[in-house]
Amino acid sequence: MKNIIVVSIIFLLTVIFYSCESNDSPVVASTPPIVNVPTNKILIELFTNTSCIPCVEANQYLDAIHELGGITNNDTNVIILRIHTTLFAGDPFYLYNVTDNGARMSYYPNAAIVNPRTFLLGTFIGNFSTAPWTNKINEKLSATRPMAISLTNTYNANNRTGNLSVRITQDAGSNFTGLVYHIAVAENEILYTAPNGETHFNNTLRDLVTPPDGQAFDIGSGQTNTYSQSYSIANALNQNLTDIIVFVQVLATREVIAVEKVKLQ
């Protein structure tokens, strides 16, 4: 009996010793280097207005995609940005940032006078109709973009400032000229009872961190460029419901050739 007790005590001491020793040298997981690989992610830009009745159906369709309702072949890879316009006066989301909303509105044909006006990777997708829109989106989802974007975001919720590292890789193939990249801040789940009956608003453009017409850059086939951008988030925005969207666009043709999104925090 005495031997059993002695053995038990030795066993317990051994366990305690090694447990304490392992706590002195915690294992730190290493992060593998970022590898930029082109994806099939797409950007949809919808021009809308809170008094626009026909906009409601298009917004509901995009809301279902945003909420991962299985509308397309891969809702997760559909990135949405909604820009509010001057089609009817008094839209609070347009008035929140006249400069940036106005810049996007002026860049796309008829975006100011016809809503909803929707562009898929920079190309007009046609008037809203569920089946045609879904088919066009799925077609683009079946191909990969010619560039890759990876994002590393550091954000301080206390002072509402951050820094975004944007890494852009040109895949093998033809070079592009006249390139810009945009860094857009978009807020989700905004509650507002609009004249057209809508009550919540997702993917709403709040700010362009880059210049309104985009940040020009050059890149060659097989090259990777990294850009660092500091930013601040206005007190009016809900930090927990805000995304940062980065996309590369050819100025002359409006073609969007890469897009990526990261949550603010």
DSSP states of 143-205: S--SEEEEEEEEEETTTTEEEEEEEEEEPSS----SEEEEEEEEE--EE---TTS--EE-SEE
CA distance 171 to 254: 19
**Burial of 31 per CB tally in 10 Å (0-12, 13-18, 19+):** exposed
| Percentage of the residues of the chain whose pLDDT score is greater than 90 | 83
Q: Please give the pLDDT value at position 175.
A: 86
Q: Please give the pLDDT value at position 25.
A: 35
Q: Please give the pLDDT value at position 101.
A: 98
Confidence of residue 8 (pLDDT cuts 50, 70, 90): very low
- Residue whose pair of structure tokens reads 């915690």 in the numeric block: 26
Both tokens of 218, joined, read 């050059």
**More confident of the two residues 3 and 258:** 258
Confidence of residue 171 (pLDDT cuts 50, 70, 90): confident
What is the tally of structural domains in the chain?
1
CATH number (domain holding residue 77) = 2.60.40.10
Confidence of residue 42 (pLDDT cuts 50, 70, 90): very high
**Mean of pLDDT over the chain:** 89
Q: What is the dihedral of CA 177, 228, 167, 138, to 10 degrees?
A: -80
Instruction: Give the model confidence (pLDDT) of 69-83 as tens digits.
Output: 999 999 999 999 999
- Residue whose pair of structure tokens reads 């044909």 in the numeric block: 109
**For residues 42-70, average pLDDT:** 98
Identify whether 14 is part of a domain. Answer: no
Q: Please give the pLDDT value at position 35.
A: 56
Q: Please give the pLDDT value at position 16.
A: 35
Residue 57: pLDDT above 70?
yes
**Bridge partners for 167 per DSSP:** 150, 226
**Burial of 28 per CB tally in 10 Å (0-12, 13-18, 19+):** exposed
Identify whether 31 is part of a domain. Answer: no
**For residues 254-259, average pLDDT:** 98
H, E, C per residue of 19-30:
HHHHHHCCCCCC
Q: What is the pTM of this model?
A: 0.87
CA distance 243 to 261: 7
Identify whether 212 is part of a domain. Answer: yes
Q: Please give the pLDDT value at position 256.
A: 98
Confidence of residue 206 (pLDDT cuts 50, 70, 90): very high
Q: Please give the pLDDT value at position 13.
A: 41
CA distance 69 to 59: 14
Confidence of residue 15 (pLDDT cuts 50, 70, 90): very low
Q: The domain containing residue 249 runs over which residues?
A: 42-263
Identify whether 9 is part of a domain. Answer: no
Identify whether 37 is part of a domain. Answer: no
CA distance 198 to 59: 9
Which stretches of 109-146 are assigned E, i.e. beta strand?
A: 117-120, 123-124
Q: Please give the pLDDT value at position 28.
A: 30
**More confident of the two residues 36 and 204:** 204
Residue 259: pLDDT above 80?
yes
Confidence of residue 34 (pLDDT cuts 50, 70, 90): low
Q: Please give the pLDDT value at position 205.
A: 99
Chain centroid, CA 230 distance in Å = 17
- Residue whose pair of structure tokens reads 């829109």 in the numeric block: 133
